[in-house]
Structure 1
Amino acid sequence: MLVALLSTLGALAGVATVLAVVAAAFVGSLARSFDTHAEAIPEPFPVGDRPAPSSGAENTLLIGSDSRSGLDPDGDHAAGGRSDTLMLAHVPADRRHVYLMSIMRDSWVDVPGHGQAKINAAYSWGGVPLTVQTVEQLLDVRIDHVAEIDLAGFESMTDALGGVTVQSPQDFTARGHHFVRGANRLDGEQALAFVRERYAFADADHTRVRNQQAFLRGVFDQVVSRRTLTNPGRLQEFVTATSEHLAVDPGLDATTIARLGWSLRGVRPDDLVTFTMPTAGGGTTPDGQSFVRLDEHDRAAISTALRSDDLQQWLDTRPR
């Protein structure tokens, strides 16, 4: 998800705000650790015509998948692997917020060269480049960076932080773990169960997406807390644990992340805004696949808001 990139960004951003007490050599060590352990995605972007770059704002596509570690949590044995989680991280030019929009993995969209299909099929058919192309076509905005996280890395990432507190919208049991409505303190194994589960919910992936957003917020809160930023050992362990399960485009190195992190030094946990791309019911294909219809009016409005760098205005008009 995804989570790792924003969390690593948050860690490096936090480091930048406490340079007075953290040695510059240690910051360099974190950067080297990220660049050493994070995998580079070869040719991550599509060729041919693409939307024009944004002016000041940055859009990063975050892909969460178990296929990189050979895991198959849902037991569907999807050929070629599928993107289990898809999020767009939008950082506006004013750097006052970070917006994280989840895109339902079963969203019915046009996949370039393949026609109508679930959006997660793009990863199976064409990997990261086709996934980027599909999202760019869907939203008519350019993806500046892309990061893929191995969901199995959530376990070591969470344990490196000493645990993460998440707010669950409901009680449920998943993979041998029970979660209560409200605050839950999770270790790595519990965190992995929390973000993967969908069968325990009547609305399946809808709640899973909300749980993933809750987990990301919990990680972000923990990363920028004083307990983490003033603990060099924990910070080093977290960056290493995260980057070992992360693949990024070649331009998204530690220097780029640190530069973006510095520009976001004024952002606080409450400035992280999470939401899901609105849907309009579901359907079933002739061969029996269930899919989710995106709300076309909202899709067009989000596209306009992203291009004009005014996503907050669109959110303000949405019912609470």
Structure 2
Amino acid sequence: MNESPTTDESTSDDASPPTEPARRRHTLRKVLLGLLACLVVLALALGGTAWYLQERLVGQVDRVEDAFSGLENRPAPAKGDGVNILVMGTDRRSDEPTTGDDAEAPAWLPGEQRTDSLMVLHVDADREGASIVSIPRDSWVTIPGYGQNKINAAFSIAGPSLAVATVEQLTDLRIDHIAIVDWDGFRELTDELGGVEVVVPETVHDSARNKTWEAGKHRMNGDEALLYVRQRYGLAGGDFDRIKRQQNFLRALMRQTLSSDTLASPTKAYGVLDAVTKHLTVDAEWTTGDMRGLLISLRSLRAADVAFTTAPVRGTGREGAQSVVRLDRDKGRELWGAVREDRADEWVEAHGAGLPASVS
């Protein structure tokens, strides 16, 4: 992986902002919660912490029950010791934390929220690599027992278990665990690192917030990073450009988190892990012992060992009044097969990020 500061994928500023604040919050959830997989990787990769600190940090992770209840005809488990984690974020309009040890609002209420971000995190069997595959939230898929809908509707209809069933049917990967994190974890993590360095290649104006990002290098604190990654307007490619920008920011965040400066400082490493784990919710089946074991096995993982891509997209269209994303099923089968066989890095090298240049 290139070790130079990360560059975003921003383009023109020809879109106008909406008048509805909820749509801005919706974008915040979508882009920020794209950092879920990154936060999970960081919590797993920084496993060299002393035993008693691991107990405390892992112990503050919250649990959700019945994540796998009622699932039938599931795919075969990952080969060897490979692990598949479905990383989710929801678009519920709550000002209270919904994840982690300090959660005050439930992580799921029937019909009130959808997954605004979906990623499959795969940890290779040899623990020498991992992959993060984004699934566009508007992907038009079959939801088991409920017909066709956007993939983000599964969580709204029946919670985590239906989301798992839908993703398993789409990918033919068996999901071993789920993880949900609050956007506050992203902000705290950025501040714990002393900011994250990103290069903005050209001056871009966010008309929704009257914020201009000047071309050049920026070290962003948590609040600034929130503004940066939540930008919805001024990106010609819409959701697809935001995914590209999000993935680039993830690389910068991971590179800085796993740098020698962070790992060599027990205080900083602890602060990073604390920021991650206290905003993390996982399935009840994922025991503290299992999490600790995965922590230890991934202690040598580097940012360059994580491959990022997006489920291949054929194009966009409409289903009734809904704007939807149509996935490329043939290329998708190739990608998910590569993930299953611990070859995601090879697939990414051959095919790239899997995103079209723009959305029509």
TM-score (norm 1): 0.84
Matched with 1:62 is 87
Cα distance, 1:307–1:3 mapped onto 2, change above 3 Å: closer
User: CA offsets per residue over residues 178-233 of structure 1, 9 Å max, x none?
Assistant: 43556432111122223333333122111221222222222211221122222222
d(CA) in 2 for partners of 1:168, 1:60:
31
- The residue type paired with residue 236 of structure 2 is A
Query: How do 1:44-63 and structure 2 match up within 5 A?
Result: 44-47=67-70, 48-56=72-80, 57-63=82-88
> Contact conserved, 2:123 with 2:131, CA < 8 A, in 1?
yes
d(CA) in 1 for partners of 2:93, 2:58:
18
Cα distance, 1:251–1:235 mapped onto 2, change above 3 Å: farther
Cα distance, 1:149–1:112 mapped onto 2, change above 3 Å: same
Cα distance, 1:303–1:272 mapped onto 2, change above 3 Å: closer
1:41 to 64, 69, 75: 64
1:179 to 187, 190, 213: 213
d(CA) in 2 for partners of 1:99, 1:79:
31
d(CA) in 1 for partners of 2:339, 2:257:
27
> Contact conserved, 2:68 with 2:161, CA < 8 A, in 1?
yes
CA apart distance, 1:291: 0.7
> Contact conserved, 2:200 with 2:216, CA < 8 A, in 1?
yes
Matched with 1:297 is 330
2:281 to 231, 247, 253: 247
d(CA) in 1 for partners of 2:345, 2:338:
8
User: CA offsets per residue over residues 11-36 of structure 1, 9 Å max, x none?
Assistant: 22xx26xxxxxxx3xx4224312312
> Contact conserved, 2:37 with 2:132, CA < 8 A, in 1?
no
- The residue type paired with residue 150 of structure 1 is D
Matched with 1:20 is none
Query: How do 1:246-265 and structure 2 match up within 5 A?
Result: 246-265=280-299
Matched with 2:270 is 236
CA apart distance, 1:10: 2.3
- Provide the secondary structure at the position in 1 that maps to 2:154: helix
- Provide the secondary structure at the position in 1 that maps to 2:145: coil
Instruction: Determine whether 1:3 maps to 2:35.
Output: no
Alpha-carbon RMSD: 2.5
Query: How do 1:182-261 and structure 2 match up within 5 A?
Result: 183-261=217-295
Extract unaligned runs of 5+ from structure 1.
Answer: 17-23, 72-77
Extract unaligned runs of 5+ from structure 2.
Answer: 1-35, 97-109, 354-360
Cα distance, 1:312–1:153 mapped onto 2, change above 3 Å: closer
Cα distance, 1:300–1:159 mapped onto 2, change above 3 Å: same
d(CA) in 1 for partners of 2:301, 2:260:
15
- Provide the secondary structure at the position in 1 that maps to 2:133: strand
CA apart distance, 1:79: 5.3
- The residue type paired with residue 157 of structure 2 is W
Cα distance, 1:254–1:162 mapped onto 2, change above 3 Å: farther
1:86 to 111, 118, 136: 118
- The residue type paired with residue 326 of structure 2 is R
> Contact conserved, 1:82 with 1:121, CA < 8 A, in 2?
yes
Query: How do 1:116-135 and structure 2 match up within 5 A?
Result: 116-135=148-167
